[in-house]
Amino acid sequence: MAIAIVDYGMGNLHSVSKAVERLGGEALVTGDRSEIMGADGIILPGVGAYGDAMEHLRASGLNGVMQDATAAGKPLLGICLGMQLLFSSSEEHGNHEGLGLLPGRVIRFAEGDYKVPHMGWNRLEFLRKDDPLLAGLEEGHVYFVHSYHVLPETKTDLLAVTDYGQKVTAIVGRGSVYGMQFHPEKSGELGMELLGRFLSLCGAGVRK
């Protein structure tokens, strides 16, 4: 099973690829359209600023590849910034248009009795326990690093949240598209179980 890890110059490629390999998948770190479209599944990682990431994706034509792959039913997982890029727009350092694969926007954490960025281990609360990504798993802690968070427009796209001064989007999913705000490859046993579930979906076909 080959998983294309999208290389657009802003991803944590090494740790994600090693995690995929530990789970028995073949990690293809690539920015090549044919390799991405030919893979069993796609992971879109991301570290950095939203606007810069979208500029890199557009300059390389990978924004269109992500949209074409999703239209073809290819399983896609966005991680951290990669999850935020799946949505319609972000207010990070201005207003930026995203991939538009899921409706919603990315906003900065409001001022409150908590530190920004949100950095550290927080417990997941599963909202859609029947989803194949979550079914049978125990809720637990995963590792977050982010200053902006997603407000999905469609309630059913929200699979899990965490509590950080408010309910914060942690996992999203619709059709073949999934996103995790945390870093599953850095989140211990639960993170690897979730990543393994995504790989299983790539091998067995996506959920209905």
pLDDT in tens, 122-146: 999 999 999 999 999 999 999 999 9
- pLDDT at residue 207 greater than cutoff 90: no
Q: What pLDDT was estimated at residue 11?
A: 76
Q: Tokens standing for 81?
A: 């910034």
**Residue 180: which of 72, 94, 83, 55 has the closest Cα?**
83
ω into residue 117 within 30 of 0, thus cis?
yes
Orientation of helix 50-60 relative to helix 62-71, angle to 10°: 80
pLDDT in tens, 101-119: 999 999 999 888 889 999 9
Gyration radius (Cα) of the chain, Å: 15
- SS3 label, residue 26: strand
**Residue type, position 144, single letter:** F
Half-sphere exposure of 138 (CA within 13 A, CB side): 4
pLDDT in tens, 56-89: 999 999 999 999 999 999 999 999 999 999 999 9
What's the rounded mean pLDDT across residues 38-51? 95
Q: Which residues are catalytic?
A: 80, 183, 185
Q: What pLDDT was estimated at residue 1?
A: 81
Label residue 10 by pLDDT band (50, 70, 90). confident
Q: What pLDDT was estimated at residue 203?
A: 85
